[in-house]
Chains A and B, each alone.
Chain A
């Protein structure tokens, strides 16, 4: 292997048994937090000590801020879920089928809300559904136990959160902001390269860059919980994201400017120089935001970064989740098996978790794989390793290799293996169910394992029967929505967003389109179409914003004509209105360079859309 001077100068990270030292530290922290949570739960004689260990398994994240943010949402979602459980159990406890239907509707509602949010907020929505499953569905035959179960779960989750927080603080778990800063700097470099490239950038490269920028959105919220200057850092990171999208969209406008003809030389030159100045300004603002992020200061301007989510897709996913749950509940009613509420609880939990995964079917497959592994591990631990012991020290030593090993698996960069590691850890704790004193009844263990595996298989079977929205259909729906939004733009219906913020929202739409097919590469034509919509929408918004500024000036008449030309989406009319505006500005001795530059950019965007071979740029 060739070794050059640069690579020799960089210190290699410490690696042990194929895993870096940071992964080992993370695994050790997870095990310590879990043991602390279990010890405190046993000491306080809580009813469900395994819930606190489960909380630690769920909150096992490599950086401190991410874990704390998830913990906050977990607590909030538990409170909402408990209130919903009490309300549902109170109102529908004696209603048989109706109760199951209400559970199904609640699950659908939670999945819908999860579909409209991202990151840990979506997780919180899914957890509302899981909490109801664990509190109300588990006590389906004993509604009077709902409140004590809810209190026990709340206390156990509180202990788990405190254990994770304490271990992360004392053992100095790494902060997330240096990682995020490095990623944002890399994105800034890519945006600068793309905007300074001589020729027009390919739609695929631009779309992939927009996807990478928008994909950081859910992660910046975790900076708030890191330290007292976390709020300023979040604002800086958010503004950097918005500025990067703006710089990229302006760069695309610059490269899409039409070729100069003798009549339009002056207009083109004016537009080009204005766009170049604006790109430099946006790049400088992005650099300022990155500096503010490093220093923990507020940015020059705090942009909002609105999220794009399709209501239609969220509603269709929610309907599928609700119907799947009701079908499985109906199956259990028809079989008449005893103690199936545990199984139904796990079904609701898997449906909730799969709703926040980008590919629900793959998640269900991972769950089907993880469940037998978790049951086998729990069985080995219970009957071969512990085999009747009740001392806490032995429990801690026995759990160490499994918990540390699975935490190492979670720290892997491969999303499939990482997800498998987390699911096996969570399911293993759920099946093992550490209690004080530990129960070693083989019948209980066998029934629990059987029902756990059955629930995963049933969710997978329900997904085969009622397949989730396919990637192609998602892309079609999203492109249709993008097209409709573009049609309405500049024709009365406006959102109260600055053009930069609206551009970020459109970048989130591009991200949705690119992730709709999972890991599969997207068709070049679809990417080109999505990017054409993006370019036209950004140009139109900026044009309208610049023309609105002229509304109170003597150039109001020319601006109105330009708006009418924009509403017609006619490249020729837009060019004529830009020329008219330039003449009106010269007569009134006023400057309207920004509006004229944007009108020329709009002319470029709509002229290229009228000739598809130019617009596609594959």
Chain B
């Protein structure tokens, strides 16, 4: 299976799909933050920030794979 990547076009400027995926993943992650706080995500790990980074990378990877 091969993915067809479509560039984002803003005012005639082509933006690489990976940049838009990174931005979408960041937005989705920021929206997820209140939920993470509500469920006490930071309390489950010894290094919560690294766990959050891993979550972001997982979301970014999934977006790049399936979008």
Contact = CB atoms under 8 A, between A and B. Distances in A.
Interface of A: 64, 165-166, 169-170, 172, 175, 226-229, 231-232, 296
Contacts of B58: none
27 contacts: A64-B49, A165-B53, A166-B53, A169-B49, A169-B50, A169-B53, A170-B50, A172-B47, A172-B49, A172-B50, A175-B49, A226-B49, A227-B42, A227-B48, A227-B49, A227-B52, A228-B36, A228-B37, A228-B41, A228-B42, A228-B48, A229-B37, A229-B42, A231-B33, A231-B37, A232-B37, A296-B42
A296 B40 CA distance: 10
B33 A228 contact: yes
A169 B48 CA distance: 9
Interface in B31-67: 33-34, 36-37, 41-42, 47-50, 52-53
A162 B34 CA distance: 23
Interface of B: 33-34, 36-37, 41-42, 47-50, 52-53
A317 to B, nearest CB: 35
Q: Which 9 A-B pairs have the closest CB atoms?
A: A228-B36, A228-B33, A169-B53, A228-B37, A229-B37, A169-B50, A227-B48, A229-B42, A227-B42
Contacts of B33: 228, 231
A169 B54 CA distance: 10
B67 to A, nearest CB: 20
Contacts of B37: 228-229, 231-232
Nearest to A224: B33
Given A228-B41, A229-B37, 13 more contacts: A169-B49, A169-B50, A169-B53, A175-B49, A226-B49, A227-B42, A227-B49, A228-B37, A228-B48, A228-B52, A231-B33, A231-B37, A232-B37
B60 to A, nearest CB: 12
Nearest to B15: A151
A172 B53 CA distance: 12
Label chain B's interface by main secondary structure.
helix
A170 B51 CA distance: 10
B47 to A, nearest CB: 5
A163 to B, nearest CB: 13
B41 to A, nearest CB: 6
Contacts of B47: 172
Contacts of B42: 227-229, 296
A119 to B, nearest CB: 21
A175 B49 CA distance: 9
Nearest to B29: A228
A346 B26 CA distance: 34
Nearest to A175: B49
A226 B33 CA distance: 12
A229 B34 CA distance: 8
Nearest to A155: B19
A64 B48 CA distance: 12
A296 B47 CA distance: 15
Contacts of B41: 228
A232 B34 CA distance: 10
A169 B53 CA distance: 7
Nearest to B19: A158
Contacts of A64: 49
A484 B49 CA distance: 47
A170 B50 CA distance: 6
Contacts of B36: 228
Residue of B34, B37, B42 with most chain A CB atoms under a 10 A cut-off:
B37
Contacts of B53: 165-166, 169
A231 B38 CA distance: 12
Nearest to B33: A228
B32 to A, nearest CB: 8
A227 B29 CA distance: 12
A71 to B, nearest CB: 12
A179 B43 CA distance: 19
B9 to A, nearest CB: 15
B22 to A, nearest CB: 9
Contacts of A165: 53
Contacts of A227: 42, 48-49, 52
A165 B42 CA distance: 18
Contacts of A226: 49
A231 B33 CA distance: 10
Contacts of A231: 33, 37
A162 to B, nearest CB: 9
Nearest to A168: B49
A228 B34 CA distance: 7
Contacts of B49: 64, 169, 172, 175, 226-227
Contacts of B48: 227-228
A179 to B, nearest CB: 16
Contacts of A232: 37
A175 to B, nearest CB: 8
A46 B41 CA distance: 37
Nearest to B54: A169
Contacts of A228: 33-34, 36-37, 41-42, 48, 52
B14 to A, nearest CB: 11
A87 to B, nearest CB: 13
A226 B36 CA distance: 14
Contacts of B34: 228
Among B34, B42, B47, chain A packs the most CB atoms within 10 A around the CB of B42
A89 to B, nearest CB: 16
A226 to B, nearest CB: 7
B23 to A, nearest CB: 11
Q: Among the interface residues B41, B48, B49, B53, which one has the most CB atoms of the partner chain A within 10 A?
A: B49
